[in-house]
Chain A
Amino acid sequence: MKRRLWQLFGPLVCAGVLVLGVLLAPLPLGRLSDSAVASAALSMSPNVLAGARAKNQALSRDYVPFFGSSELSRLDPFHPAVLAAKYHRSYRPFLVGAAGTQSLTHFLTDQSMLKQLRHKKAVFIVSMQWFTRRGQDPRAFDFFYSPLETVTWLLAAKNTVADRYAARRLLTMRAPSKDAQLHGALLTVAAGQPLGDTARQLLRTRLQMLKNEDELFSRFGVNAHEREVAAGEKLLPNQATNSQLDALAEQAGVTHTRSNQLGIDDTFYRTRLANGRMAKLAGSQKHFDYRFGPEYSDFQLLLSQFAKHDIDVQFIIPPINAKWAAYTGLSQAKYAQAVEKLKTQLKGQGFKRVLDLSQDGGQPYFMQDTIHIGWRGWVKVDKVVAPFLDGKRQPVHYMLNDHFFTKSWRQAVVGG
Chain B
Amino acid sequence: MIDWQPYANPQYFVVLLAALVPLIIGLYHGRRLHIYETLASLLFIVMMFTGTKWHEGFALIGYVVFQVALVQGYARYRQTHNGTAVFVLAVLASIAPLAVVKLTPAIAVHPSILGFLGISYLTFKSVQCVMELRDGTIKRLPALSFLRFLLFMPTISSGPIDRYRRFEADYAQVPTQAAYVEMLGRALRYLFTGFVYKYLLGYVFGTLLLPQVAHAALVRGGLSWPLVGYMYTYSMYLFFDFAGYSLFAVAISLVMGIDTPMNFNRPFLAGNIKDFWNRWHMSLSFWFRDFVFMRVTFFIMKHKLIKNRIRVSQVAYLINFLVMGFWHGVTWYYIVYGLFHAGAIIINDLWLRYKKRHKAQLPHNRWTQALAIFITFNVVCFSFLIFSGFLDQLWFSPMHH
A interface, CB within 8 angstroms of B: 1, 4-5, 8-9, 12, 180
A12 to chain B, nearest CB (A): 6
A1 and B178 within 8 A (CB) = yes
Q: Which of the residues B2, B177, B188 comes within 8 Å of A1, measured between beta carbons?
A: B177
B184 and A8 within 8 A (CB) = yes
| Nearest neighbor of A12 in chain B, beta-carbon distance | B188
B2 to chain A, nearest CB (A): 7
- Known: A4-B181, A5-B181, A8-B181; 12 extra A-B contacts, CB below 8 A, are A1-B177, A1-B178, A1-B181, A4-B178, A8-B184, A8-B185, A8-B188, A9-B184, A9-B188, A12-B188, A180-B1, A180-B2
1/0 per residue B147-185: CB within 8 Å of A? 000000000000000000000000000000110010011
Size class of the contact patch on chain B: under 10
| Nearest neighbor of B3 in chain A, beta-carbon distance | A180
15 contacts between A and B (CB under 8 A): A1-B177, A1-B178, A1-B181, A4-B178, A4-B181, A5-B181, A8-B181, A8-B184, A8-B185, A8-B188, A9-B184, A9-B188, A12-B188, A180-B1, A180-B2
Q: How far is the CA of A4 from the CA of B180 in the complex (A)?
A: 11
Residues of chain B within 8 A of A4, CB atoms compared: 178, 181
A177 to chain B, nearest CB (A): 11
Q: List which B78-99 residues lie within 8 A (CB) of chain A.
A: none
Q: DSSP majority for the B interface?
A: helix
Residues of chain B within 8 A of A180, CB atoms compared: 1-2
| Nearest neighbor of B184 in chain A, beta-carbon distance | A8
1/0 per residue B1-36: CB within 8 Å of A? 110000000000000000000000000000000000
Residues of chain A within 8 A of B185, CB atoms compared: 8
Residues of chain A within 8 A of B181, CB atoms compared: 1, 4-5, 8
Q: How far is the CA of A45 from the CA of B185 in the complex (A)?
A: 42
| Nearest neighbor of A11 in chain B, beta-carbon distance | B188
B interface, CB within 8 angstroms of A: 1-2, 177-178, 181, 184-185, 188
| Nearest neighbor of B187 in chain A, beta-carbon distance | A8
Q: How far is the CA of A180 from the CA of B1 in the complex (A)?
A: 6
Q: How far is the CA of A143 from the CA of B400 in the complex (A)?
A: 23
Most chain B CB within a 10 A radius of its CB, from A5, A8, A180: A8
Residues of chain B within 8 A of A12, CB atoms compared: 188
| Nearest neighbor of B181 in chain A, beta-carbon distance | A4
| Nearest neighbor of A4 in chain B, beta-carbon distance | B181
Residues of chain B within 8 A of A9, CB atoms compared: 184, 188
Q: How far is the CA of A180 from the CA of B2 in the complex (A)?
A: 7
| Nearest neighbor of A178 in chain B, beta-carbon distance | B3
Residues of chain A within 8 A of B178, CB atoms compared: 1, 4
A19 to chain B, nearest CB (A): 12
Q: How far is the CA of A12 from the CA of B184 in the complex (A)?
A: 12
B381 to chain A, nearest CB (A): 29
Q: How far is the CA of A306 from the CA of B44 in the complex (A)?
A: 49
| Nearest neighbor of B189 in chain A, beta-carbon distance | A8
Q: How far is the CA of A8 from the CA of B192 in the complex (A)?
A: 13
Most chain A CB within a 10 A radius of its CB, from B2, B177, B185: B185
A18 to chain B, nearest CB (A): 14
Residues of chain B within 8 A of A5, CB atoms compared: 181
B278 to chain A, nearest CB (A): 30
Residues of chain B within 8 A of A8, CB atoms compared: 181, 184-185, 188
Q: How far is the CA of A12 from the CA of B1 in the complex (A)?
A: 26
B302 to chain A, nearest CB (A): 51
B362 to chain A, nearest CB (A): 47
A5 to chain B, nearest CB (A): 6
A188 to chain B, nearest CB (A): 15
A219 to chain B, nearest CB (A): 20
A61 to chain B, nearest CB (A): 34
B370 to chain A, nearest CB (A): 35
| Nearest neighbor of B191 in chain A, beta-carbon distance | A12
Q: How far is the CA of A180 from the CA of B185 in the complex (A)?
A: 32
Q: How far is the CA of A180 from the CA of B9 in the complex (A)?
A: 12
Residues of chain A within 8 A of B188, CB atoms compared: 8-9, 12
A274 to chain B, nearest CB (A): 16
Q: How far is the CA of A1 from the CA of B180 in the complex (A)?
A: 11
Q: How far is the CA of A141 from the CA of B23 in the complex (A)?
A: 44
| Nearest neighbor of B401 in chain A, beta-carbon distance | A280
Residues of chain B within 8 A of A1, CB atoms compared: 177-178, 181
A297 to chain B, nearest CB (A): 29
Residues of chain A within 8 A of B2, CB atoms compared: 180
Q: How far is the CA of A48 from the CA of B62 in the complex (A)?
A: 53
B247 to chain A, nearest CB (A): 16
A176 to chain B, nearest CB (A): 14
A138 to chain B, nearest CB (A): 16
A127 to chain B, nearest CB (A): 22
| Nearest neighbor of A9 in chain B, beta-carbon distance | B188
A157 to chain B, nearest CB (A): 22
| Nearest neighbor of B2 in chain A, beta-carbon distance | A180
Residues of chain A within 8 A of B1, CB atoms compared: 180
Q: How far is the CA of A12 from the CA of B251 in the complex (A)?
A: 15
A139 to chain B, nearest CB (A): 11
| Nearest neighbor of A184 in chain B, beta-carbon distance | B1
Q: How far is the CA of A1 from the CA of B28 in the complex (A)?
A: 11
| Nearest neighbor of A7 in chain B, beta-carbon distance | B185
